[in-house]
Amino acid sequence: MSYAADVNVCLDRILESTDLSGLTKKDATLFTKRLEAHFPSLFEKYTYVYGHQYDCYYHLQKLVETLRDGIKKRKPALKKLDENRLKSPLWYRDENQVGLACYVDLMGPTLNDLHKRIPYYKALGVTYLHLMPLYDAPAGDSDGGYAVSDYRKVNPILGTTEDLEKLADALLKEGINLVLDFVFNHTSDEHRWAKAALEGERQYQNYYYMYDDRTIPDQYEQTLREIFPQVRRGSFTFNEQMQKWVWTTFNSFQWDLNYSNPEVFNAITSEMLFLANIGSAALRLDALAFIWKEMGTNCENQEKAHVLIQAFTCCLEIAAPAVVFKSEAIVHPDEVNKYIGSDECKLSYNPLLMALLWNSLATRKTRLLTRSMQKSFPIADDCTWVNYVRCHDDIGWTFDDNVAQELGINGHDHRFFLNQFFTGRFEGSFANGVPFAENPSNGDCRVCGSLASLCGLESALQNGDSKGVEEAVSRMLLLYGITFSIGGIPLLYSSDEIAKLNDYSYRNDETKQHDDRWVNRIAVTPEDISLAMGEVNRELSQQEEASVKVFNGLQHMLEIRKSNAVFGKAKTFILEASNQHCFAFLRENEHGEKLLVLSNFSEYPQQVDGEILTTLGRNPGEDLLSSVHFKGDESVITLRPFQQLWIKGA
């Protein structure tokens, strides 16, 4: 019997015994049609991972029931959205897209308050709003909400699930997509599954990885990386109540889910569909690299992690096709790219671009950026990057050591330099970063800090250095300019858009002081918003002036982005800029529109050979940022310190 027949027989049997009577006729037809299209793929993935388990088909049947329930609960407006998105699936490649990530409490402080922030989002052109994890979580330290106790309950401090749905509707009406976290690698130790496990229920203990003694944990730990060595060594936590070692990749209160158990896959799919049905357009797959464990490996980026994500994608295609996944893989660039694909994550953070923009600011050199982007920037046409300069986490220097080696850069030593530079320990550094997760065994560390503080605004203000302030503002706009033009959704991280400095107050908070990432989780107050929106009529401090300049600079760039199709669906070619301080790329769309972007990473004027204008056919062009015209025959192009040109070909 052929394999294809197997699948069809399986689907027939499942459908025979699945009760569709709770669905409307239309939904039942839709469901069956979607199953016919996507079940074969789901079947292949599911049986690849679970086929050797005797109850695989039982769980597969249950999964189909979960998907049915997902469709049943999906609101008509979202079903309409499903239809529209299926007709024009590439919304995320549009020039119109601009993202913002923010914590509800730091901008609200509640979900209901966020309605009042919509004009601010609109002023920034936001179309994609990522609200940081807002689910019920342990009181005190909850890893910034990434320890979820109940996916279906909004943290009462922030509001209710109804509030969230109301906000999602209001945002949608304004053309803003809601993006939520899908924290599926682990739950908090207060999730009801964890509580049942604590009570000794075997079924729920099997939802996690638990061991009676150190034998197996010791074997795994020989090859595991430590993620938060500053709070706990190793990847396991001993639980007194159960007298067991629990797998905890991150904090001790974040228990890794056991995806070798199909029941876990099904249970979490049900939670995923709940989040999809709230009205989220994209789900951010938190810590997705860690979901599959394989003895003798570092248990990151394992093949079956991919297969599982592909299986989740099939589930979305069946029950909520308007929703796409965004990958949060902060790992080696080759591994980052493997999560991107139409059958996996259509969106992905671009941690390599992020890290190397910072590298170029520190070194004033662009070779590593250029070479790395040439290698890693191209991805499938139906996928897109989410380009960012800062987020709520630390900066990890995830570049490819082999690429660095080819340029004569020693990866290990260079990371040491970058850490020194951005924590301000390197003489002459402009940055005020904070070291994060220093590993006492190997000296590894990462860097935290706000965009403004890392770009030099904090130290310039402290030293009353006006030129330094100006340079810091230029650095911020330079980085933003690249993320707005290189191709993908630019994602702002709230408080950076107004250049707020590091917030050190976490050091006085017992629940936060051990986690320096709080230095860059900063409130945006109604006063900040009034300032940014130009509603403050008094003399501004130097710091306020810098805020306004950054905000206005952003608005200017975003307006240009939105009114030129070449920033949307277009190819990106990373060019050699003929000057080691400059970075260059060309965008070209299917209508033949072209944009040449040149950036100067140094505090001195730099010249780029006019030869680069041949990419625009030596035709006349205009820098969209300054409205300066180019004839096309220039023999050199001169860029001011930190200047960026967006030359649009005629």
Instruction: Rank residues 251 and 602 by Cβ distance to ligand GLC and give the closer one.
Output: 251
Instruction: Return the number of the residue (286 or 400) whose C-beta is nearest ligand GLC.
Output: 286
Supply angle C-alpha 508, 513, 519, rounded to 5: 90
At closest approach, how far in Å is the CB of 146 from ligand GLC? 3
85-114: contacts with ligand GLC (CB under 6 A): none
Q: 3-state DSSP: the chain helix, strand, coil percent, rounded to 5?
A: 45, 15, 40
Q: Which is nearer to ligand GLC, 95 or 271 (CB)?
A: 271
Task: Copy the structure tokens of residue 360.
Answer: 């170029």
Per the CB < 8 A criterion, the answer to whether 35 and 15 are in contact is yes
- Residue 304's beta-bridge partner residues? none
Pick out residues in 252-291 that bind ligand GLC (CB under 6 A).
286-287
Contacts of 326 (CB under 8 A, 6+ apart): 179, 282, 283, 284, 285, 345, 346, 347, 348, 349, 386
The residue with its CB nearest to ligand GLC is 146
Q: How far is the CB of 181 from ligand GLC (least distance, A)?
A: 8
Q: Which of residues 41 and 439 has its CB atom nearest to ligand GLC in the complex?
A: 439
Q: For this structure, is 590 an active site residue?
A: no
Please state, in angstroms and rounded to a whole number, the distance separating the CA atoms of residues 289 and 298.
Answer: 10
Is 328 assigned a catalytic role? yes
Q: Which of 105, 328, 344, 444 is catalytic?
A: 328
To the nearest whole angstrom, how small is the minimum distance from the Cβ of residue 50 to ligand GLC? 25
Contacts of 494 (CB under 8 A, 6+ apart): 100, 101, 102, 103, 106, 107, 522, 524
Q: Does 129 bind ligand GLC (CB under 6 A)?
A: no
Instruction: State the binding string over 335-374 for ligand GLC (x if CB under 6 A, else -).
Output: ----------------------------------------
SS3 1: coil
**Which residues ranging from 293 to 332 are in contact with ligand GLC (CB under 6 A)?**
328, 330-331
The residue type of 428 is G
Q: Does 236 bind ligand GLC (CB under 6 A)?
A: no
Q: Which of 189, 190, 286, 344 is catalytic?
A: 286
Which residues within the stretch 143-202 sit at the binding site for ligand GLC (CB under 6 A)?
143-144, 146, 183
Beta carbons of 491 and 131 less than 8 angstroms apart: no
Q: How many residues interact with ligand GLC (rule CB under 6 A)? A: 15
Distance CA 373, CA 376 (A): 5
- Part in contact with ligand GLC (CB under 6 A); list of ranges 142-150, 367-375, 518-526, 546-554: 142-150
Please, which residue, 396 or 435, has the CB nearer to ligand GLC?
396
Which long-range contacts (C-beta less than 8 Å, at least 24 apart) are formed by 567-572? 567/95, 567/484, 567/485, 567/595, 568/93, 568/94, 568/95, 568/96, 568/97, 569/90, 569/93, 569/94, 570/487, 570/595, 571/487, 572/377, 572/378, 572/486, 572/487
Question: Binding to ligand GLC (CB under 6 A): which residues in 386-405?
Answer: 392-394, 396
Whats the size of the chain, residue-wise?
Answer: 650
- For the chain, the maximum distance between any two Cα atoms, rounded to a whole number of angstroms, is 81
250 binds ligand GLC (CB under 6 A): yes
Residue selected from 42, 227, 531, 582 as contacting ligand GLC according to rule CB under 6 A:
227
- Between 437 and 577, CB nearer to ligand GLC: 437
The catalytic site residues sit at 286, 328
The site for ligand GLC (CB under 6 A) is made up of 143-144, 146, 183, 227, 250, 286-287, 328, 330-331, 392-394, 396
